Structure 1
Amino acid sequence: MNSNWIYGIGIALAGIFSLFFIVKLDLQNALIGMLALFALTNSARAKQFKSQGMIRESRWMQGLSMLFAIALAVVLFIRLLG
Structure 2
Amino acid sequence: MNIKWLSSILVALFSIAAIVFIIMGNFNFAVLAMTIMFALSNGFRAKSFKEQGYMKEAKWMKYMAVFFSIASIIVIIIILTDK
- TM-score w.r.t. the length of structure 2 is 0.89
Does 2:68 match 1:68? Answer: yes
- Can you list the C-alpha shifts for 1:37-76, whole angstroms capped at 9, x where unaligned? 1111111211111111100100100100010001101110
Partner of 1:31: 31
- TM-score w.r.t. the length of structure 1 is 0.90
Unaligned runs of 5+ in 1: none
CA distance in 2 between counterparts of 1:45 and 1:2 reads: 15
Displaced runs of 4 or more, over 2 A:
none
Partner of 1:78: 78
What is the aligned residue count? 82
RMSD of aligned residue pairs (Cα, Å): 1.1
Unaligned runs of 5+ in 2: none
Larger mean Cα displacement after TM superposition, 22-31 or 11-20: 22-31
Report % sequence identity: 38
